[in-house]
Amino acid sequence: QVQLVESGGGLVQPGGSLRLSCAASGFTLDAYTIGWFRQAPGKEREGVSCISNTDGSTYYADDVKGRFTISRDNAKNTWILQMNSLKPEDTAVYYCAAAYFISSLSSGPYDYWGQGTQVTVSS
């Protein structure tokens, strides 16, 4: 059974950092791309970053480049989104998702989704 579980969200002040984790199980991970998405109240879900497990390529949305870093902890089958220099506009529910072979910041190719973790950036 495919399962993605996010953790690490919380409340942080502007300029602070958070580290989100996505633990995956139940499928052949090497053939998948893991993506991070977010959805703020009243807004559509948007792609933040993704990493291909076939060649390690990474992709970022323009507004998080230089601030967020996606990586994989192979030993733990866990994907990390390190978020630095957080801004109030980063406030959203963050989701990780898995797509078979396709690397994209659009949600369409993603077949499996976690339940989400809340990130709030506020003073």
Question: Cα–Cα distance between 122 and 27 in angstroms, integer?
Answer: 37
106 with 37: CB under 8 angstroms?
no
Q: What is the pLDDT along the chain (123 residues), one digit of tens a residue?
A: 789 999 999 999 999 999 999 999 887 777 889 999 999 999 999 999 999 988 889 999 999 999 999 999 877 789 999 999 999 999 999 999 999 988 899 999 999 999 999 999 999
Distance of alpha carbon 122 from alpha carbon 105, whole angstroms: 26
Query: C-alpha distances in angstroms, 17 versus 4, 46, 77, 82, 85?
Result: 22, 20, 22, 7, 6
